[in-house]
């Protein structure tokens, strides 16, 4: 457990590193390092977050947890199709049970849980890849009080963002090492940088990826998907320091990049030499937060190397790429 400063320190960093990117997710002035001309403002090719996949040893524990405490309802269940598992680079995930859950608001942004074998010793926020899911909520203080009685583990008490005190967040972790940042605009929501929740617990709006070289992370996303670079700032993030056994004042670099639709953001965290690639079972998805699925206009228009060629799925096409920190990024065409 961490004290109230755990949320503040991260939020202070985000307020300086990424507020502009959040406010202008469609067009932001390019940095001197950007490829496009200073007269051109590119529209990011990543449009919005569609699905987040968590890989869990015990699927039966996830459904009641997200349903009873977060109001997420199962809208699909089954076994992972072979071609989908292969597209993830996880062929041994074929046939594994999964569920897809949707927030009470009915927004078409989902959390998918896929069963894997346990990975001994895996701990959230200590390895590279996807490390946290940020969800918009209506009242983080009320949600904090509710979740204290839940199987979730508290990581950070509700706290406000220094430069935007009306934005508050609390952090919890689930039994599959699924870290949740639960965030709200408590002031004027009509002009907020954040999306509206639409329910007590709303949709995913930020995904956090960590790697050993934040510049390489930012360059890959910016150059590959025409995302405007933001300033990289250093800040202590207590809940990550706690997870990694570091002093609370230890700083790390972070920044955020906006997708083309409002309220859809990537946070990039730089991890130190005490971290490394995520362990995983052979042929299965990595444990914890395994995949972020995003909407794109056309996979063919992207200069990316997919694990396998795009497959037909859900009425559209999808393909998965491996990012510079080993993260799995699933690309979904609009009809998917």
- Size (the chain), residues: 336
Whichever domain contains 218, its CATH number is 3.10.180.10
Q: Is the pLDDT reported for residue 17 higher than 80?
A: no
Q: Is the pLDDT reported for residue 2 higher than 50?
A: no
How do beta strands 129-137 and 179-185 pair? Answer: parallel
d(CA 23, CA 193): 5
Q: What is the pTM for the complete model shown?
A: 0.89
d(CA 278, CA 155): 21
Q: Label residue 235 by pLDDT band (50, 70, 90).
A: confident
Q: Label residue 40 by pLDDT band (50, 70, 90).
A: low
Question: For the segment 211-220, what is each residue's pLDDT rounded down to a tens digit?
Answer: 999 999 999 9
Share of the chain above pLDDT 70, in %: 88
The residue assigned the tokens 């096409």 is 317
Structure tokens at 70: 């977060």
Question: For the segment 169-200, what is each residue's pLDDT rounded down to a tens digit?
Answer: 999 999 999 999 999 999 889 888 899 999 99
Domain that includes residue 197, residue range: 5-333
3-state helix, strand, coil in the chain (%, to 5): 20, 35, 45
Q: Is the pLDDT reported for residue 79 higher than 80?
A: yes
Q: Label residue 229 by pLDDT band (50, 70, 90).
A: very high
Q: In this predicted structure, what is the pLDDT of residue 73?
A: 98
Q: In this predicted structure, what is the pLDDT of residue 6?
A: 41
Phi, psi of 19 (to 5 degrees): -60, -40
Range of weakest confidence among 11-20, 168-177, 326-335: 11-20
Alpha-helix residue ranges (DSSP H) falling in the chain: 5-17, 19-23, 59-70, 82-87, 140-147, 214-225, 238-244
CA distances from 214 to 10, 123, 234 (A): 16, 21, 11
Nearest to 321 by CA among 208, 220, 228, 177: 220
Question: For the segment 244-278, what is each residue's pLDDT rounded down to a tens digit?
Answer: 999 988 999 999 999 999 999 999 999 999 999 99
Q: In this predicted structure, what is the pLDDT of residue 25?
A: 34
- Counting the structural domains of the chain, the total is 1
Q: In this predicted structure, what is the pLDDT of residue 161?
A: 75
Q: Is the pLDDT reported for residue 296 higher than 80?
A: yes
Q: Is the pLDDT reported for residue 163 higher than 90?
A: no
d(CA 81, CA 313): 10
- Give the three-class secondary structure for 1: coil
Q: Label residue 34 by pLDDT band (50, 70, 90).
A: very low
């Amino acid at each position: 457990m961490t004290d109230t400063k755990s949320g503040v320190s991260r939020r202070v960093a985000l307020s300086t590193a990424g507020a502009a990117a959040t406010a202008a997710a469609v067009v932001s002035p390019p940095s001197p390092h950007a490829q496009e001309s200073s007269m051109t403002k590119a529209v990011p090719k990543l449009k919005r977050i569609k699905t987040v996949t968590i890989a869990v040893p015990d699927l039966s524990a996830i459904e009641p947890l997200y349903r009873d405490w977060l109001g997420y309802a199962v809208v699909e269940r089954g076994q992972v199709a072979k071609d989908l598992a292969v597209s993830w680079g996880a062929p041994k995930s074929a046939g594994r049970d999964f569920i897809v859950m949707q927030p009470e608001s009915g927004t078409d942004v989902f959390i998918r849980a896929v069963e894997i074998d346990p990975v001994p010793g895996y701990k959230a926020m200590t390895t590279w890849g996807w490390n946290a899911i940020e969800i918009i909520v209506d009242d983080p203080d009320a949600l904090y009080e509710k979740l204290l009685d839940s199987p979730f583990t508290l990581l950070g008490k509700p706290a406000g963002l220094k430069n935007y005190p009306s934005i508050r967040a609390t952090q919890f972790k689930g039994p599959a090492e699924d870290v949740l940042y639960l965030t709200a605009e408590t002031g004027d929501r009509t002009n907020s940088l954040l999306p509206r929740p639409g329910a007590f617990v709303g949709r995913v709006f930020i995904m956090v990826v960590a790697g050993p070289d934040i510049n390489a992370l930012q360059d890959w996303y910016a150059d590959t998907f025409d995302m405007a670079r933001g300033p990289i700032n250093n800040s202590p993030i207590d809940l990550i320091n706690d997870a990694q056994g570091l002093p609370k004042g230890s700083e790390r670099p972070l920044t955020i990049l906006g997708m083309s639709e409002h309220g859809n953001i990537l946070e990039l965290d730089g991890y130190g030499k005490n971290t490394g690639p995520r362990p995983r079972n052979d042929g299965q998805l990595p444990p914890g937060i395994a995949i972020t699925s995003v909407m794109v206009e056309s996979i063919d228009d992207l200069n990316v190397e997919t694990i396998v060629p795009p497959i037909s799925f859900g009425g559209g096409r999808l393909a998965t790429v491996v990012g510079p920190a080993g993260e799995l990024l699933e690309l979904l065409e609009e009809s998917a």
